[in-house]
Amino acid sequence: MHEQLSAMLRTHPQPQTTFDPAALAACLDACLECSAVCTACADACLGEREHLAHLVRCVRLNLDCADICAATGRILSRLTEADQGVLRAQLQACVATCRACGDECTNHAQHMNMVHCAVCAESCRRCEAACTRLLGSVTA
Amino acid sequence: MHEQLSAMLRTHPQPQTTFDPAALAACLDACLECSAVCTACADACLGEREHLAHLVRCVRLNLDCADICAATGRILSRLTEADQGVLRAQLQACVATCRACGDECTNHAQHMNMVHCAVCAESCRRCEAACTRLLGSVTA
Amino acid sequence: MHEQLSAMLRTHPQPQTTFDPAALAACLDACLECSAVCTACADACLGEREHLAHLVRCVRLNLDCADICAATGRILSRLTEADQGVLRAQLQACVATCRACGDECTNHAQHMNMVHCAVCAESCRRCEAACTRLLGSVTA
Amino acid sequence: MHEQLSAMLRTHPQPQTTFDPAALAACLDACLECSAVCTACADACLGEREHLAHLVRCVRLNLDCADICAATGRILSRLTEADQGVLRAQLQACVATCRACGDECTNHAQHMNMVHCAVCAESCRRCEAACTRLLGSVTA
């Protein structure tokens, strides 16, 4: 995780009690990474001139995943007056999207040898796992 | 709805079959409006110098709601190769967030006479209803 | 403009003195519309299966324009403690991007008969003009 | 920089020739970090119950800086068919905003002993420097 972002979580004036701190930091990191990697994967797919027609669904899911992970990352960056229902619902949306996008990218990595899709699939899997873990770590 | 945006939906080369077209247009419009209105409500709360201490939870929910509605609106703007699981999960997150933010704003409108919160509550309710309706209109 | 958003500007507790109010409202509206229309135009281009290879630059500029207009719209939604240097620089970036995206879309509308690109070009031109006007209306 | 994001830049099918690669990677990283840190600093300021009235301008600039850095980071993540005029204008907006936000945060770090503002000021300075360097590294 970015050192500065982890310093922000530590220096926040209000203690956060919703999540296990390590699971929160890992999930926030994974969301930010996945959002950026999906933005880059959509663009890399656009650069695959010969294969572009086969990558339309991948571009679309990359764009959705980039938007949803970005929103999730922003919400996780806020510790003040968190609403658990909002957090839970957005984390569930993030899990669903990372799974769909990761499946699509894995498919292109395996059958079309798209290296950037392999990289993106890994970020999606990591984010899906981190969101799933965070959903389970709600300290109630 | 913005005329240009509705023209975009009509001129799209691929027919969208996931949703009832009128429900989709209404929901997209409500998401974009709610995102902008929540951004403005967070800022208006920051401008309430004397009452700011009581509005912290409202600002936080406004910011979350602005981010989630923006992401939902972007996803609904894309008709190509839609993934129903992604759409459903993000719509559910949007319903949960609009409800939480609408409740908070209604509270400040009623008990603190915050006019901007009354306006924001209305946008949240409209978006919550439009997302709920869209969830029910999936044409399978 | 969305009635609710214009109500937010009117009910804000702090008066905004940076811009002419009508020019601000028009520009905010144009930014939000252009961001949504560019998101939809990128997607419509992705749906143009036979022409997609010729639309790659259009998709890329649409995505950039959607992101920059969204950021500009959010900043314009905030009236509290505005920083004129920030506003000016972001409006200039928005003008440059709307011009580049509008030129690209106009090109595809004229030479490839892409109707969605014609719609998008109109939104880009409107946003470019509104940002240019707002840059000239700073009340100092 | 996130290893996955740097892997995306390396595996992109089209070579990017606009920027020095190391300067691009550093700037992209700085934009993503600064956007996340500013989102967190706005929230940490909201949690400063006793000092909140003095932090309103800081929250506002944090929110603007988060939005502008996020947009800049997305645009820098795209290597396909880059438009140098768009890149230049958005980088200049990012420099202006990081400077304004960094100044405000430095002020609160020094005079109010806000540790999270000190962390945020550092991210803003790093992003301002990285964008400035990237503006100078255009390989024409």
Residues of A with CB under 8 A from a CB of D: 2, 4-5, 7-9, 11-14, 28, 32-33, 36-37, 39-41, 43-44, 46-49, 66, 70, 73-74, 77-81, 115-116, 119-120, 122-123
Res. B2: pLDDT tops 90: no
Give the amino acid at A115: V
Output the pLDDT for position C119: 97
Output the pLDDT for position C140: 54
Output the pLDDT for position A137: 82
Helices of type H across chain C: 3-11, 21-46, 56-76, 84-111, 115-136
Q: How far is B97 from B91, CA to CA, in rounded Å?
A: 10
The confidence band for D18, taking pLDDT boundaries of 50, 70 and 90, is: confident
Q: Mean pLDDT across chain A, nearest whole number? A: 94
pTM score: 0.97
Give the amino acid at B57: R
The closest CB to that of D46, out of B43, B47, B59, belongs to: B59
Fold annotation for B19-135: Substrate Binding Domain Of Dnak; Chain:A; Domain 2 (1.20.1270)
Q: What is the mean pLDDT of residues B103-114?
A: 95
DSSP, collapsed to helix, strand or coil, labels residue D14 as coil
Output the pLDDT for position A140: 54
Q: What is the pLDDT of residues C49-79, one digit of tens each?
A: 899 999 999 999 999 999 999 999 999 999 9
Q: What is the pLDDT of residues D52-82, one digit of tens each?
A: 999 999 999 999 999 999 999 999 999 999 9
Q: How much helix, strand and coil, in percent to the nearest 5, is found in chain A? A: 80, 0, 20
Q: Mean pLDDT across chain C, nearest whole number? A: 94
Give the amino acid at C104: E
Q: What is the mean pLDDT of residues A113-131?
A: 97
Of B74, B89, B72, nearest to A95 by C-alpha is B89
Provide the ipTM. Answer: 0.96
Give the CA dihedral C53, C57, C58, C60, nearest 10 degrees: 110
Nearest-by-CA chain A residue for B63:
A75
Q: How far is A108 from A58, CA to CA, in rounded Å?
A: 8
Output the pLDDT for position A18: 82
Write out chain B in H/E/C secondary structure: CCHHHHHHHHHCCCCCCCCCHHHHHHHHHHHHHHHHHHHHHHHHHHCCCCCHHHHHHHHHHHHHHHHHHHHHHHHHCCCCCCCHHHHHHHHHHHHHHHHHHHHHHHHHHHHCCCHHHHHHHHHHHHHHHHHHHHHHCCCC
Residues of B with CB under 8 A from a CB of C: 2, 4-5, 7-9, 11-14, 28, 32-33, 36-37, 39-41, 43-44, 46-49, 66, 70, 73-74, 77-81, 115-116, 119-120, 122-123
| D82 CB neighbour count, 10 Å cutoff | 21
- Which residues in chain C are contacts of D100 at CB distance < 8 A? 83, 85-86
Token code pair at residue C88: 């000016």
Whether the CB-CB separation of C28 and C4 falls below 8 Å is answered with: no
Q: How far is D49 from C31, CA to CA, in rounded Å?
A: 34
Q: How far is B90 from D89, CA to CA, in rounded Å?
A: 33
Domain boundaries, given as residue ranges, for chain B: 19-135
Q: What is the pLDDT of residues B14-67, one digit of tens each?
A: 878 888 888 999 999 999 999 999 999 999 999 998 999 999 999 999 999 999
Percentage of chain B modeled with pLDDT above 70: 98
CB burial of residue B54 (10 Å; 0-12, 13-18, 19+): middle
Q: How far is B55 from B34, CA to CA, in rounded Å?
A: 19
Ramachandran region, residue B87 (left: φ > 0; alpha: ψ -120 to 50; beta: rest): alpha
Q: How far is D42 from A77, CA to CA, in rounded Å?
A: 10
Res. D16: pLDDT tops 90: no
